[in-house]
């Protein structure tokens, strides 16, 4: 347990962020949920408060650097010094081609998924530096490692992994660790909606993983909690895939010589 420590979770109103907020609260952190979704954020905070930890929702668009900076002040004023920061706010798009993609949506995707991660890391790392302590966990994806036809999203997740490495080196001398988790498909509201709309095929999704198991939000939250914890005190600058073996299975299953046990 970590009495009087505070964790910030952007995107904590839903999905992976909400699961991370609950898991970190169970580990003893007081929680600040930063999100544009007030209803979900209040629900996450209320559920955590019912377990006996302090939890507060702060309305914040992570694409707005000034707003993130103002909220960082408010979080530390209300809850105290932040020790852990998780950047789970994000948008998940549908398939597009590079030539036909909607450039306004592309711009917004980068503003939220990449620049939002930069803004959050900047504001909270600046406050961790004088204390010479902290852990940041960004949310990458299998998209950080492989090209998928999501041109507004996929390069942004590769950029999040590289940003994580840069920050790990920049902040390492202040004893602040920066790591990323890389989930495969996870059944959160955006994936549920895409399956319902026919934009994602669960048969195909389940068929390519090494394990016959699709990670749940709590599986991603467990990895986040590990990277945030002292058990990971010697780990910085990594992306930890939580992918049921997707990154290994996709090249293996498409080997030109055939897959022996599938023939």
Ligand X SMILES: NC(=O)c1ccc[n+]([C@@H]2O[C@H](COP(=O)([O-])OP(=O)(O)OC[C@H]3O[C@@H](n4cnc5c(N)ncnc54)[C@H](O)[C@@H]3O)[C@@H](O)[C@H]2O)c1
Residue ranges in contact with ligand X by CB under 6 A: 10-11, 13-17, 35-37, 40, 60-63, 88-92, 112, 116, 139, 141, 183, 185-186, 188-191
Minimum CB–partner distance for residue 136 and ligand X (Å): 14
**Toward ligand X, which CB reaches closer, 46 or 132?**
46
Percentage helix, strand, coil, to 5, in the chain? 50, 15, 35
Catalytically active residues are: 153
Sign of the dihedral defined by the CA atoms of residues 224, 4, 44, 121, in that order: negative
Nearest to ligand X of 32, 186 (CB atom):
186
Convert 130-178 into a string of H (helix), E (strand) and C (coil). HHCCEEEEEECCHHHCCCCCCCCCHHHHHHHHHHHHHHHHHHHCCCEEE
Using the minimum distance from each CB to ligand X, give the nearer residue, 2 or 250. Answer: 250
Instruction: In whole angstroms, give the CA distance from residue 12 to residue 40.
Output: 8
CB 7 within 8 Å of CB 86? yes
| Closest residue to ligand X: CB criterion | 15
Nearest to ligand X of 95, 132 (CB atom) = 95
Question: Which is it for strands 29-35 and 5-10: parallel, antiparallel or unpaired?
Answer: parallel
| Distance of closest approach, residue 11 Cβ to ligand X, in angstroms | 3
> ∠ at Cα 47 (79, 31), nearest 5°?
25
């Amino acid at each position: 347990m970590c009495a009087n420590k505070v964790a910030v979770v952007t995107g904590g109103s839903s999905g992976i962020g909400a699961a991370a907020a609950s898991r970190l609260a169970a580990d003893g952190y007081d929680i600040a949920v930063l999100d544009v979704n007030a209803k979900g954020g209040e629900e996450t905070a209320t559920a955590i408060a019912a377990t006996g930890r302090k939890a507060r929702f702060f309305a914040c668009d992570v694409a707005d650097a000034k707003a993130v900076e103002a909220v960082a002040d408010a979080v530390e004023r209300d809850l105290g010094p932040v020790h852990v920061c998780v950047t789970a706010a994000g948008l998940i798009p549908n398939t597009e081609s590079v030539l036909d993609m909607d450039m306004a949506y592309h711009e917004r995707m980068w503003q939220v998924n990449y620049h939002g991660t930069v803004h959050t890391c900047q504001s909270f790392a600046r406050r961790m530096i004088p204390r010479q302590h902290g852990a940041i966990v960004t949310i990458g994806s299998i998209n950080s490692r492989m090209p998928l036809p999501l041109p507004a999203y996929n390069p942004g997740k590769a950029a999040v992994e590289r940003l994580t490495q840069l920050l790990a080196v920049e902040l390492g001398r202040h004893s602040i660790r920066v790591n990323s988790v890389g989930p495969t498909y996870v059944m959160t509201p955006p994936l549920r909606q895409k399956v319902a709309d026919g934009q994602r095929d669960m048969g195909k999704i389940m068929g390519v993983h090494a394990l016959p198991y699709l990670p749940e939000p709590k599986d991603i939250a467990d990895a986040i909690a590990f990277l945030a914890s002292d058990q990971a005190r010697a780990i910085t600058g990594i992306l930890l895939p939580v992918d049921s073996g997707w990154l290994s299975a996709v090249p293996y299953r498409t080997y030109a010589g055939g897959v022996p046990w599938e023939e």
